[in-house]
Amino acid sequence: MLSRRDAAIRLDIPLEMAAHHGIPARLSEAELEAIEQDPPAWLVQSRANRTGTKKTWVRLECVVCGYNEDARPKKWWPDWDYLMCDYHAPYQAPEPTAGFTRSEVDGIGSRFIALVDDRAAG
């Protein structure tokens, strides 16, 4: 069985939209395939209205252990070089390129820290 969240990710729609249009909390793979094969009018409309390349969901993946999750992108997210789970030690992440300084932004998704490497000033 798939969750409504799984279905929303597969259909590339927000979770609220899936709930609003009656995607059940649990559904089978066959039921989801039926929706993909014969999309209801609201889904066709939603896809037609999509502008630009802004993604509904992004895959977050830890560079250290490979843990990943799909999350709704947030406007405040930085443009990171790496993500890692918040309990890893900083040294476990790949070294920043020589001449770059690293800053960390926490609170990405459910458990990630974003590692942002910038060329050091001067």
**Binding residues for Zn ion, per CB under 5 A?**
62, 64-65, 67, 85
C-alpha span between 9 and 76 (Å, rounded): 21
In 3-state terms, what secondary structure has residue 84?
strand
Nearest residue (CB) to Zn ion, 67 versus 77: 67
The answer to whether the CB of 12 falls within 8 A of the CB of 41 is no
Rg (CA), the chain: 18
Taking the complex as a whole, the smallest distance from the CB of residue 3 to Zn ion amounts, in Å, to 23
Nearest residue (CB) to Zn ion, 41 versus 89: 89
Taking the complex as a whole, the smallest distance from the CB of residue 109 to Zn ion amounts, in Å, to 11
Taking the complex as a whole, the smallest distance from the CB of residue 73 to Zn ion amounts, in Å, to 20
